[in-house]
A and B are shown apart, each in its own frame.
Chain A
């Protein structure tokens, strides 16, 4: 098997908060194959966005490795951590990030054409008519009318602005898109349009995606594999069907159970955690980080940090799991 496009190992991101150290991403490993979509899900503050930003070189990495496979299928990989500025610029175009809020990432003084054209001028040195032709192609590809390219972002709707941000990311021909809550601010009908666009782009261009979201419904539509994060750690990874139909980790089960379902049956959500809040990432609990809220925690969970256990469709970090066996049921209390 060829090397994965993106191979993240033991990645650590640490922020300084006053005198304290916040380990936002704690020795996380994940892989994304060429052309694949891996969804990274979790609740706010779990570190999912920080992880993507670290991969994109937007926040400093404390330790660990981020390798990108060479484009020539030679099997060689390039270590992105501690890459010099010039070398990083060469790799930079291969991975592009799209954010939740296009208003924050698109300069309001630039036209759609200038926004999409900027990376083409910088990375591909395109000018004049060639540049304009390429800009029109890109706008068409994301479903925007090229005749509108002289307009500024405010003249577009939220969904259209997100299309401009996607066209801008596509401009340099990336192999990996890092999508951070790209549809979270959109109405469902517009969200559906953007998700379908991303799926089409992936199919046509073979781009891989690391898709960060808090919305499990979106995950089921867009991803083949899923990684679930909680307080800086990945607690479960599995193929999408397994994760949704037979989640192994108690946190994954709580998360899935809590999603309100549109099934017209009432009683559509469950409180799968014990009462209480998500602990502060500044002072994560010892042992398994989920144990204070876990419905199946035992004494040992407060002591030992669990190692990954192989599950049917992936792996999960839970002391209560036995490889190959069904996950234990919650205490009947």
Chain B
């Protein structure tokens, strides 16, 4: 088992392809191309991007859930504590999901069983860990429900999912991760459907658990605010590619990629000024079901675009302050223009 700070999850050069539906005219979708992710023990990594960028498909690949989406890992490596998972049989993945890696999705109704009492679902998790005695199961399950802030834990054990609010269902999912003593929690838009006051409670809970148990987390979200508030490092994806990564604070203060910068400037902010206009990105991302454009995938929408961007795709390269970026525009140019407009960095 890795100690704090050591690499827990190491994903290298991950390529995920989605096969077309039978009889469909479209080609194979290259949903994720050449993704590297590294998560240390006790670290929270954010994976952000707009819909269709590949962030959810990447997370399904990490959990071995791709076949449900007609997806497959075309190439690459996924190591947890040094052990290779690509190529393992489905039963091994199932055990991994139950014990080492836990997940919380946007809609917990897709992962909780509506026909089973909460208590029975939690008991299944404990059984995987070899805890079978009824009283011990009930005691541990209730203790974890209390830990995640469910007021009437005993009552909750006896209820069915539909009796619980969205926030409570997410707490149950987090309690399951705790019971499994998972090393890695993958949260895919886990607070997106929640009201903002409830979201704040769940985010605070996740942060406490990280601090308390050095649990590692992969947070997949489109909400830059959530990432900024919770994550240590961030990877920004666009059209199947990671375009930038780095420490959260640096990335949001001084984005090194025009896409990150554009996302930040398109995000409405409560800290004003009132009535400021938002920068809108014209156009749409390229389609992924055919040969990709020869150059940078963001070139068609980029305001820093130059001739070379359209012919060759840049590599992911170091850009200082712990950042990596896939861009050839001079950093000074990006940073010089960061101060103008309502959404410039405050630095």
Instruction: Give me the interface of A with B, judged by CB distance under 8 Å.
Output: 43-44, 157, 187-193, 195-196, 199, 214-218, 220-221, 224, 240-241, 244-245, 254-273, 275-278, 293
Contact = CB atoms under 8 A, between A and B. Distances in A.
B168 A277 contact: yes
B276 interface: yes
Nearest to A216: B270
Given A240-B275, A270-B200, 14 more contacts: A199-B277, A217-B270, A218-B268, A220-B276, A221-B268, A255-B197, A258-B196, A261-B228, A264-B250, A266-B228, A267-B229, A268-B229, A271-B204, A272-B200
Interface string B219-252: 0001111101110000000000000000011111
A270 B282 CA distance: 34
A241 B201 CA distance: 26
Contacts of B284: 157
14 contacts: A187-B50, A193-B280, A216-B270, A217-B270, A220-B268, A220-B269, A241-B274, A244-B272, A259-B196, A262-B269, A263-B271, A264-B345, A271-B201, A272-B197
A241 B270 CA distance: 10
B76 interface: no
Interface of B: 50-51, 149, 151, 165, 167-168, 195-201, 203-204, 222-226, 228-230, 248-253, 262-264, 266-272, 274-282, 284, 345-346
Contacts of A272: 197, 200
Contacts of A192: 266, 268, 278-281
Contacts of A276: 151
Which of A189, A259, A273 has the largest count of B CB atoms less than 10 A from its CB? A189
Given A220-B274, A240-B274, A244-B270, A262 B224 contact: yes
B228 A268 contact: yes
Contacts of B282: 193
B253 A264 contact: yes
A189 B266 contact: yes
A289 to B, nearest CB: 14
B268 A196 contact: no
A188 B269 contact: no
Contact of B269 (A190, A258, A261): A261
Contact of B222 (A187, A195, A268): A187
B270 A263 contact: no
A241 B168 CA distance: 34
Given A263-B228, A264-B248, A191 B266 contact: yes
B252 A262 contact: yes
B156 to A, nearest CB: 13
Contacts of A268: 225, 228-229
Contacts of A258: 196-197, 199-200
Given A195-B278, A196-B277, A260-B225, A44 B195 contact: yes
A263 B252 contact: yes
Nearest to B207: A267
B257 to A, nearest CB: 14
Contacts of A278: 195, 197-198
B262 A189 contact: yes
Given A188-B267, A258-B197, A272-B200, A266 B50 contact: no
A264 B249 contact: yes
Nearest to B224: A262
Given A221-B275, A221-B278, A244-B272, A189 B251 contact: no
A221 B223 contact: no
Nearest to A242: B274
Contacts of A193: 280-282
Contacts of B251: 264
A254 B201 CA distance: 11
